[in-house]
Amino acid sequence: MHSAPRRILLAAALAASLSAPTWADTFPSKPITLVVTQGVGSGSDITARLLAGYLGPALGQSVVVENRAGASGIPGHQSVARAAPDGYTLLFTSTAGLFVVPVMNPNAKYSLADYVPVSPVMRAPFAVLVANTPQAPKTLPELLSSLRAKPQNFASAGVGTMTHLGTELVLRRAGVQATHIPYKGSGAALTDLMGGQVLFATDSLTAAMAHIRSGKLRALATTDLAREGSLPDVPTLAEAGIPGVQVAAIGGLFAPKGTPKDVVDKIAAATAKVLALPDVVQRFAAVETDPLRVSIGAFNDLLRKEAEVWSPLVQQLGLKQE
């Protein structure tokens, strides 16, 4: 007797559910916060602000960069991991923040599993560098021969940075040793390299290119699979005799675990459109950074491969940070 009214109610409920807006239909309805775990003016900050300036109009809401620097970026990473999984809090981070800091510091208490990878953003290549002086090695084989002949030093932007670990990886593959001299940032490290206080460094082209162009530094090899367009005459590590080594900072957008897939997809689609804009490509190139335009599946594969390289290396080197 009551079956007909029940069917009517069920049909009405189904119609309402079909017509109800999805998360993505209503997202975003307020500004989005993009957390950067480095200070204003850093490479990550510059990239994030460039992205945010274009991503806001693409999504129809402002994207506000919030710098949560200090303590190796741990508070910033933790804040996003604890944020509401609604797409309104995003994290811009890269290789070291994801795969080095949590291994070095037991107080970090976060990992890639706490986030949803939303979109790849950038890839910043590195180079093996020496001072451009008559007595400095002219090629990577010369540098390695010099290290085999006597103990010498290399500079980095700090313990556990990619500039540190990149050199350690090269040294291990080459079967040579050098003494690590950590500095507070690439600026100080490259200044002492140019001044002759250390023999060499491995650093990003973002940090080093101005000194290379001025003639104060010489790049012996670049650290990606192909030669860099801005340094066409500089061989890759493989071409210089050290195959199987890649060093680059890989950066992307991440959301708290549990963020709805349709929201993630909407942010990802907007980011992909931004990274394809000629103006954005040119502005990335100006700071020696490449937009990382790959599928989310390829990005996840790349993150897994990066984890397999850097996290074990930190453990092998016994690096600790309290």
Domain membership flag for residue 4: no
Q: Which amino acid is at 83?
A: A
- Write down which residue in 222, 240, 266 finishes a domain: 222
In whole angstroms, what separates CA 322 from the centre of its chain? 23
User: Which band of pLDDT confidence, cut at 50, 70 and 90, is reported for residue 69?
Assistant: confident
Angle at 292 between CA 287 and CA 297, to 5 degrees: 165
Residue 17 to residues 6, 13, 21, 151, Cα–Cα distance (Å): 17, 6, 8, 71
What does the block give as tokens for 112?
A: 């890639």
Domain membership flag for residue 232: no
Mean pLDDT for all residues in the chain: 91
DSSP 8-state code for residue 72: G
Asked whether 264 and 90 are in contact (CB, 8 A), the reply is no
Domain membership flag for residue 322: no
CATH number at residue 172: 3.40.190.10
What does the block give as tokens for 257?
A: 């675990």
- The CA distance from 107 to 223, in Å, is 31
Asked whether 217 and 56 are in contact (CB, 8 A), the reply is no
Strands (E), 132-256: 153-156, 179-182, 200-204, 217-222, 248-256
Q: Which amino acid is at 182?
A: P
If one compares 18 and 136, the residue with the highest pLDDT of the two is 136
Domain membership flag for residue 114: yes
Do 94 and 63 fall within a single domain?
yes
pLDDT in the model for residue 241: 94
Domain count of the chain?
2
- Write down which residue in 207, 222, 237 finishes a domain: 222
User: Which band of pLDDT confidence, cut at 50, 70 and 90, is reported for residue 5?
Assistant: low
Q: Which amino acid is at 205?
A: L
User: Which band of pLDDT confidence, cut at 50, 70 and 90, is reported for residue 235?
Assistant: very high
Burial class (CB in 10 A: 0-12, 13-18, 19+), 184: exposed
Domain membership flag for residue 180: yes
Domain membership flag for residue 2: no
pTM recorded for the entire structure: 0.86
Domain membership flag for residue 243: no
Q: Is 219 left (phi over 0), alpha (psi -120 to 50) or beta?
A: beta
Domain membership flag for residue 205: yes
Asked whether 87 and 33 are in contact (CB, 8 A), the reply is no
Query: Which range marks the domain in which residue 216 is found?
Result: 125-222
Do 74 and 218 fall within a single domain?
no
What does the block give as tokens for 153?
A: 């030093």
Do 73 and 216 fall within a single domain?
no
Asked whether 281 and 273 are in contact (CB, 8 A), the reply is no
User: Which band of pLDDT confidence, cut at 50, 70 and 90, is reported for residue 72?
Assistant: confident
User: Which band of pLDDT confidence, cut at 50, 70 and 90, is reported for residue 1?
Assistant: very low
